Each structure stands twice: as structure tokens, then as C-alpha cells.
Amino acid sequence: MIILIVLVAVWGAWQWSTVIRRNRVAKVIDEATFQAGMRKAQVVDLREKKEFDAGHILGARNIPYSTFKAYYKQLRDDLPIYLYDQSKALSTRAALILGKDDYKEIYILKSGYARWQGKTKKTKY
């Protein structure tokens, strides 16, 4: 029982530290704020291509998290970067990568694509 309590405590501390590190480099914003600023930003969908093709936020570009480290340098550092995925777990990881490389204006969609109510686009096959 003590081992279980220690494991839960360690996991909770790790989660908390991730949130603190994320909040140092990125700002989590709601859908209304995301929609208001996305026209002047780079909107990045971090989901895999299959999920992106099934539906994505209109105007977003797809850089799957699995390839993010190889392709994030294509993002401009002088424009805000708006990240989203299904929830916000991948966005948090991507924001930490961007923050280490001195990208300044990083925003994460709070509710993720799962609860997005704005305009979307699907790729036709």
C-alpha cells in the first residue's frame, strides 16, 4: 500500500512540474481567444495525418507530434504559434520543445480539437 501511495505521489509531482514548465513557455487559451488571434498566427495541428485528414481547424497546418522535432524549425519565430491536438497533452510537449529553442509567443488551445466549435475542414479522398 505504501508503494502505491509513493507511486501516486511521484506521478502527481511529475504532472504538476510539467504544468509549471508549460506555463513558463506557453499560455493556455480558450476557444474564443484562439479564434480571435488565429488569423495572425501559425496554427499547428499536432495530430497524426489520418486524424488531420478526418477533420481539422480551418487554416491549420499539420505537423504530427511524431515528427515535430524534425520539422518545427519550419515555423517562424516572429509570429505567434497556436498549437492544438485532441486534448492538450501533445501541445504541452511541443510547447516545451519550442520554448527550449526560444520561440516566444506560444499558445495552446485549452479544450483541444475534441471540443472545437469553430470552422473545420475535412480532406476529401
Instruction: Sketch out the chain's domains with CATH numbers.
Output: 2-121 (3.40.250.10)
pLDDT of residue 47: 97
Residue 76 contacts by C-beta under 8 Å, 6 or more apart in sequence?
42
pLDDT of residue 88: 86
pLDDT of residue 19: 85
Cα(109)–Cα(80) distance, integer angstroms: 13
The per-residue pLDDT string of the chain (125 residues; one tens digit each, 9 = 90 and over) reads 889 999 999 999 988 988 888 889 999 999 999 999 999 999 999 999 999 999 999 999 999 999 999 999 999 999 999 999 998 899 999 999 999 999 999 999 999 999 999 999 987 76
pLDDT of residue 107: 97
Query: CB–CB of 84/45 below 8 Å?
Result: yes
pLDDT of residue 125: 63
